[in-house]
């Protein structure tokens, strides 16, 4: 399905020049007091500047009162540049990561909720939602390049309303080039995109953020090809990840790069993985399929649910009325129920009662 760097880990790319030739029309806008337009066009923005996350975690670490089950950032600390600042003050940052285990180099975008830098939560871990895009998924991840699809605001609004946990969003590229799709897998002879997603990205997250030691603090979400990666990883590594929101999703691997290697395909086939997990009796995993009424694929998701949604494999379906095969529809589905659903099976951050 389709839907619309440097080699050193975490090293920041050189900042682009901010010199800008102002067109006559824009100059007139500025002369008329168009401050909003000036920010929009980047004249006074801080996009591209260094940005850091977790201003409170150093003090928490110094207190030496780390709670059981909480992992403080292990380092090495990555260098992030700001790609967007949201109206609520939260920020999206980008870094370039070379995975120690996969050897693959790609960009990763991150966003943390306001609660993350609240002193009340300085000693608390936060749940992680690894968010994968559809389409090529390279060299950008459309969940992270800006807030236009509304994912960050959906999490913020849900946390404020008490219907969603304040997730950390980790948004990596999920393909290795613009010509192929890799089924979020280690296809023999190809870049190890399965290792990148299941090992390097969690290691990167633990290096930079306060996370839970338990799998109950780790989940995926994704759309289209990214949805396949999301629920495949939960089924393949149930000891590491607990839940997934899989939208407009493929059910079986279909990359031409497999070249008929059925053994390797079976090792990354959600149907085979679910069958194995059921036979082994767990651990329990949770998959929320999202399908819009204006797209195809519902029958495939329902067939999977009927055949494999039993025992430790818990499945549910979020039907998005008038929803299409795109990110905006899937974020609407998350607002309408999927975020609340996944929040009920994940660990929540715990505020310190002694801090106001």
Structure tokens that stand for 60 in this block = 């928490």
Q: Is the pLDDT of residue 60 over 70?
A: no
pLDDT digits (tens, 9 = 90+) for 62-87: 445 677 899 999 999 999 999 999 99
Q: pLDDT (tens digit, 9 = 90+) per residue, 92-148?
A: 999 999 999 999 999 999 999 999 999 999 999 999 999 999 988 999 999 998 889
Between these two residues, 352 and 266, which has the higher pLDDT value? 266
Residues facing residue 247 across a β-bridge: 223, 290
Residue 121's CB is within 10 A of a number of other CB atoms, namely: 23
Tokens found for residue 350: 């715990």
Token pair listed for 308: 């494999």
The predicted structure's pLDDT at residue 136: 87
- Residue 61's pLDDT is what? 52
Tokens of 84: 């967007």
Per residue in 236-284, pLDDT tens? 999 999 999 999 988 999 999 999 999 999 999 999 999 999 999 999 9
Q: What is the mean pLDDT of residues 12-26?
A: 38
C-alpha–C-alpha distance, residues 281 and 267, integer Å: 18
Place of tokens 């968010």: 131
Distances in Å between the alpha carbon of 333 and those of 79, 130, 311, 318, 352?
33, 17, 26, 7, 32
Q: Give residue 33's pLDDT band: very low, low, confident or very high (50, 70, 90).
A: very low
List CB contacts of 327: < 8 A, sequence separation 6 or more. Answer: 3, 133, 134, 142, 143, 149, 151, 223
Is-above-0.75 flag for pTM?
yes
Contacting residues for 280 by C-beta, under 8 A, at least 6 apart:
none
pLDDT tops 90 at residue 32: no
Buried b / exposed e along 251-289 (16+ C-beta atoms within 10 A): bbbebeebeeeeebbebbbbebbbeebbeeeeeebbbbb
What pLDDT score does 5 carry? Answer: 35
Contact 235, 220 (CB under 8 A): no
Tell which residue, 146, 26, 165, has the closest CA to residue 87. Answer: 146
Residues in the chain: 356
Q: What's the CA gap between 222 and 75, in Å, rounded?
A: 27
């Amino acid at each position: 399905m389709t839907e619309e760097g440097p080699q050193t880990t975490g090293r920041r790319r050189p900042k682009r020049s901010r010199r800008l030739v102002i067109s006559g029309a824009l100059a007139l806008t500025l002369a008329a007091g168009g401050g909003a337009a000036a920010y929009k066009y980047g004249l006074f923005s801080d996009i591209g500047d260094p940005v850091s996350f977790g201003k409170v975690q150093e003090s928490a670490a110094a207190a030496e009162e780390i709670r059981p089950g909480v992992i403080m950032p292990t380092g090495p600390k990555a260098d992030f540049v700001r790609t967007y600042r949201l109206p609520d003050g939260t920020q999206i940052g980008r870094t370039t990561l070379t995975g120690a285990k996969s050897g693959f180099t790609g960009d990763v975008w991150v966003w943390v909720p306001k609660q993350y830098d609240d002193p009340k939560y300085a000693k608390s871990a936060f749940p992680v939602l690894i968010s994968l895009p559809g389409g090529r998924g390279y060299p950008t991840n459309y969940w992270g390049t800006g807030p236009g699809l509304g994912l960050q605001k959906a999490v913020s609004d849900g946390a404020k309303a008490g219907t969603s946990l304040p997730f950390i969003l980790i948004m990596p590229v999920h393909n290795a080039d613009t010509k192929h799709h890799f089924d979020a897998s280690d296809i023999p002879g190809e870049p190890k995109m399965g290792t990148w997603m299941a090992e390097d990205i969690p290691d990167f997250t633990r290096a930079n953020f306060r996370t839970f030691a338990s799998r109950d603090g780790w989940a995926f979400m994704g759309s289209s090809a990214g949805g396949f990666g999301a629920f495949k990883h939960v089924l393949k590594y149930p000891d590491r990840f607990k839940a997934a929101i899989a939208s407009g999703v493929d059910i079986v691997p279909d990359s031409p790069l497999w070249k008929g290697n059925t053994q390797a395909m079976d090792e990354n086939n959600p149907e085979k993985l679910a069958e194995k997990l059921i036979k082994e009796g767990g651990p329990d995993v949770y998959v929320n399929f999202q399908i819009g009424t204006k797209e195809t694929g519902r029958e495939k998701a329902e067939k999977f649910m009927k055949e494999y949604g039993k025992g430790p494999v818990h499945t549910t379906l979020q039907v998005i009325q008038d929803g299409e095969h795109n990110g905006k529809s899937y974020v609407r589905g998350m607002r309408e129920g999927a975020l609340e659903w996944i929040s009920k099976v994940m660990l929540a951050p715990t505020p310190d009662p002694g801090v106001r």
